[in-house]
Amino acid sequence: MPRTPDYSEQLCLPRALLLDFGGVVVETENNADWQRVFARQLVAAMHADGIDLLDVADVERDLRAGAKADSRWKDAMSRPFAPAELRYDQFWGDFVAADWPEPALRWVFDRARELCRQMGELKQTRRTRVGMTELLDAADAAGVPVGIVSNTLMGVVHRDYLDAHRLTDRFAAQIYSDEVGVRKPNPRMIELGADAVGVPVTECWYVGDNFDRDALCGARAGVGGNIIMEARDTYEQPYDLAVRPHAIVADPVELRDLFLDAVGDDVSTHAQSTPV
C-alpha cells in the first residue's frame, strides 16, 4: 500500500493529475559512453563544415565536464524560489564549449537547440513505468485530466517518446521547462500545468520523484496533493529540506491505488454515466 506519512496535511479529492516525466511516467537509464558517441558525431559534423580544430578526445572531455556542470547547476537552482531554465545556447556556450576556438564555439552556438535534442536522445534510455497505462485508464474512467509538468533541457525528446509509444493522446497537456523558460521548484511550472488542464492548483495532485525540485515545487504552488514517487535518485537529496510530501508511493501501481481510494465513488459514477 502507499506509504502516506502521518502529517497534518490531507490529500484533496483530485480533479487533475500533474505528473513529472522522468522518474514518474518513464524510468530512465543513462547510456554508457554517450559522450564518446556524441563527440564522434560532433567532430565529424564540424569537419564536414570545414572546422578542423578539435579532436574526439577534446570534445568528449568537455561533454563530460559540461554534464557535471549542468548537474551541479540543477542542484543549485533548486534553492531559489523562481529559477529560470537554462537556455540551449547557455548549455553549450557556458558548460561545454566555453574554451573552444571561436569557429567551433560559434558552430555549436548556432546549432544549440538541435544539439540539445540529439544529446537528449543519446544520453538516456527510457521505458514507460509499469502500471502507468493502468493509472491513465483509471484517470480516464474518473474523468480526471492528466498533464505532464517536467524539467528538461529539451522537451521535444519527451514529446517524441510519447508519440513513438502512442501515449500523447493520454495527456491533456505537456509543460516542459525549456519551452516555458522556468523550471521547478519555480511554482509557475505547476501553475501552468493546472491552467492547461483547467483545474485550480488546490484541486490537483502533483507527482514527482525528487524532494528538492518536485515536493518543494508542489508546496510552493499549494497543490492539493503533493506526492513523491520513488525512482532511482529520489533519496539522493543535495541538501536537507523541511518540506515533506503528503504521500510517498513506490510506483504507478501504488499511485493508482491511492487515486482509486480517493475517487472510488467518482469512478463508478462516471463509468455509469459515460456512453459505451
Q: What DSSP string describes 57-81?
A: HHHHHHHHHHHHHHHHHHHHTTSSS
Q: What SS3 string covers 1-48?
A: CCECCCCCCCCCCCCEEEECCECCCEEEEECCCHHHHHHHHHHHHHHH
Tell me phi and psi for residue 176, to 5 degrees.
-120, 140
Single-letter amino acid, residue 243:
V
Domain ranges across the chain: 16-28+125-269, 31-124
User: Region 137-141: what's the mean pLDDT?
Assistant: 97
Provide, rounded to the nearest whole percent, the portion of the chain with pLDDT above 70: 92
Top pLDDT among 158 and 232 is at: 158
Residues in contact with 171: Cβ distance below 8 Å, sequence separation at least 6, in sequence order? 146, 147, 148, 162
Please state, rounded to an integer, the average pLDDT across all residues of the chain: 93
| The pLDDT of residue 276 | 33
User: Predicted confidence band at 10 (pLDDT cuts at 50, 70, 90)?
Assistant: confident
pLDDT(212) > 80: yes
Whole-prediction pTM: 0.91
The pLDDT tens digits of the residues spanning 230-258 come to: 999 999 999 999 999 999 999 999 999 99
Q: How far apart are CA 228 and CA 141, in angstroms?
A: 23
**233 with 257: CB under 8 angstroms?**
no
Q: Both ends of the chain: CA-CA distance in Å?
A: 32
- State yes or no: cis peptide before 83, omega within 30 of 0: no
Report the chain's C-alpha Rg in angstroms.
20
| The pLDDT of residue 267 | 54
pLDDT(275) > 50: no
Q: How far apart are CA 166 and CA 177, in angstroms?
A: 22
| The pLDDT of residue 2 | 45
pLDDT(272) > 60: no
Single-letter amino acid, residue 4:
T
Q: Helix (H, G, I), strand (E, B), or coil: what is residue 276?
A: coil
Question: Distances from the Cα of 124 to the Cαs of 34, 64, 121, 213, in angstroms?
Answer: 8, 14, 7, 20
pLDDT(87) > 60: yes
User: Predicted confidence band at 66 (pLDDT cuts at 50, 70, 90)?
Assistant: very high
Q: How far apart are CA 20 and CA 249, in angstroms?
A: 14
pLDDT(266) > 90: no
User: Region 179-199: what's the mean pLDDT?
Assistant: 98
What number of residues does the chain have?
A: 276
User: Predicted confidence band at 265 (pLDDT cuts at 50, 70, 90)?
Assistant: low
Parallel, antiparallel or unpaired: strands 146-150 and 124-128: unpaired
CA quadruple 69, 189, 164, 46: dihedral sign: negative
| The pLDDT of residue 8 | 38
User: Region 59-88: what's the mean pLDDT?
Assistant: 97
Say which residue the cell 510517498 belongs to. 248
pLDDT(9) > 60: no
| The pLDDT of residue 264 | 82
Q: How far apart are CA 97 and CA 54, in angstroms?
A: 11
Among 87-96, 160-169, 197-206, 238-247, the range scoring the smallest mean pLDDT is: 238-247
pLDDT(42) > 90: yes
199: closest CA among 15, 12, 11, 18?
A: 15
Question: Which CATH code of 3.40.50.1000, 3.30.70.100, 1.10.1200.10, 3.30.465.10 fits the domain covering 16-28+125-269?
Answer: 3.40.50.1000
Burial of 107 (C-beta count, 10 Å sphere; 0-12/13-18/19+): buried
